[in-house]
Every structure is written in structure tokens, then in C-alpha cells.
Amino acid sequence: MADAHDTGKMGEELARAHLAANGYVILETNWQSNHQEVDIIAMKGETLVIAEVKTRKTSHFGQPETFVTRQKQKMLIKAANHYVMSQGIDKAVRFDILSVLIQGDKHQLNHIEDAFYPY
């Protein structure tokens, strides 16, 4: 039986495959800065996409995307700012959530574009 780490890794693999199949160019995976991690950083056209992947085995306690708290959003915004500055990127930035529900050998992936906005 897969533990939470394995489930999370499987969700990230499914999310990367989904993004690549839909024309996203993956720039970074599990990018880290100052104890902050961004699951996927990608480009779609002229937009830099900061993607958080949330994977669960059950929706009993809510859909996976509901676990992206305001605190997590603030951390992603801070990490995205650091990435943009460190890489000298001058593009629009979008924050997406990829919600993955894995049940047995089946999965359901919900890609939420513009899931939240910097504030």
C-alpha cells in the first residue's frame, strides 16, 4: 500500500504529464528556496505558471484543492517572487492548482487555472 509520500509523487507525475500534454513547458519541478518548495514551474505561451499539486486517496475530507490554505498560497507567492527575481523573468505569473484524486488504479485530475491571485 502506497504511503502519503508515494501518493504525492504519483500525483506530481500525473500533473507533469497532464501539463506537458497540454502544451506547457516544464521549467522546474520541486524547486526550493528558503525552505519553500514549488511543485511545478512551467511556461504556457507568455505566462509563467506556478503550480501546486495536491493529491489525496479520498475526498472524504474534501477535494484535494481545498487543502491549499491561505498560508500555503502566501508561501507560493513569496517563492514565485524569488524565482522571478533570481531568474530575471519579466512575464505574467499565474497560480494554478492541480488536484489529483487517486483511487486504486484510477485517478481524477482537476486543473484549476488562476486558482488564486497574489494579494
Contacts of 27 (CB under 8 A, 6+ apart): 41, 42, 43
Per-residue pLDDT reduced to its tens digit, 89-102: 999 999 999 999 99
Q: How far apart are CA 93 and CA 81, in angstroms?
A: 9
* pTM score of the predicted model: 0.91
Using left for φ > 0, alpha for ψ between -120 and 50, and beta otherwise, residue 114 falls in left
Could you read off the pLDDT tens digit of each residue along the chain, which spans 119 residues?
457 778 889 999 999 999 999 999 999 999 998 888 999 999 999 999 999 999 988 777 778 888 899 999 999 999 999 999 999 999 999 999 999 999 888 999 999 999 998 87
Nearest partner of 73 among 22, 118, 11, 13, judged by Cα = 118
Domain boundaries, the chain: 1-38
Q: How far apart are CA 26 and CA 62, in angstroms?
A: 28
